[in-house]
Amino acid sequence: MTHHGIPYRKSTANQSPAFLHDDDDHNNGHALPDGSSADSGVRERLEEIVHETLHLIGEDPNREGLIRTPHRVAKAWEFLTNGYQMDIEQVLNNAVFEERYDEMVVVKDIDFFSMCEHHMLPFFGKAHIAYIPNGKIVGLSKLPRIVDVFSRRLQVQERMTQQIAETIQKHLQPLGVAVVTEASHMCMMMRGVQKQNSATTASAMLGVFKNQVETRTEFMNLIASRLH
């Protein structure tokens, strides 16, 4: 494929020294370690788009340092957006258990990375999740995985926070769910207002966390030391 006179040359292992390659550059299979699947046609089209973009911003996409950049960027985007391909039922993987426990369960400091849908720049931070069981609990590792499902896609922080809370509510049917996220947004740090030290906090409160001030306050006190 040719873009403005510069042909797109699909990179191969012999086009640049091995030490310049990412460790996983030679994995041409469809199954990725993170569980996403690489459609070769989609990846090739993404590579073509990145190649053209490099040319449009004034770079030489065929110079040594950039020759494999379209391939790497396509793989990176597959990973950064693989939340679209994740199925909640498979993520939970039967890890919801009957349990007569009715006190608050809190998981703090869940790291996440996402991509702002407005500028397609990263935002990243931590999520804090609480729920009060109503006869069911979930394996603790599943809560960070639910965060991954909704963070690995184009997002706004407010919607992501709400989606995490609503998903936990739907699948566990607890007495209540609380989710607080705090994030730094590169679209505010690198461009626009260029405020490098600002942080954005969003919350979603469902059930008793929304209706009972005491319950909400208990949760907020538990995570207060973690907030920016």
CB proximity list for 207: less than 8 A, separation 6 or greater: 132, 169, 174, 175, 176, 177
Say whether 51 is catalytic.
Answer: no
- Tokens linked to 58: 């004034």
Distance of CA 3 to CAs 6, 48, 50, Å? 5, 9, 11
Mean pLDDT of 80-85: 96
Summarised one tens digit per residue, pLDDT across range 150-168 is 999 999 999 999 999 999 9
Residue 228 annotated as catalytic: no
117 is catalytic: yes
Q: Which of 105, 107, 93 is nearest to 133 (CA)?
A: 105
- Annotated active-site residue 187? The verdict is yes
Exactly one of 116, 128, 155, 163 is catalytic; which is it?
116
User: What is the structure's pLDDT at 215?
Assistant: 98
Is domain 2-80 in CATH 3.40.980.10, yes or no?
no
Exposure on the CB side of residue 175, measured as CA atoms within 13 A: 16
Three-state secondary-structure class, residue 115: strand
E strand segments, the chain: 2-3, 6-7, 96-98, 105-116, 122-132, 136-138, 154-155, 176-185, 200-207
Asked if 158 is an active-site residue, the reply is: no
Catalytic pick among 90, 118, 158, 228: 118
The answer to whether the 2-80 and 95-226 domains have the same CATH topology is no
The catalytically annotated residue of 157, 163, 169, 182 is 157
| CATH number given to 95-226 | 3.30.1130.10
15, pLDDT greater than 70: no
> Could you say which DSSP state residue 154 is in?
E
On average, the pLDDT of the chain sits at 86
44, 55, 166, 187: which one is catalytic? 187
Task: Check if 3 is active-site.
Answer: no
Write down the catalytic residue from 90, 117, 196, 228: 117
Return the domain boundaries, the chain. Answer: 2-80, 95-226
Are the C-beta atoms of residues 123 and 183 closer than 8 Å to each other?
yes
Share of the chain above pLDDT 90, in %: 73
Q: Record the tokens describing residue 51, joined without a space.
A: 């190649």
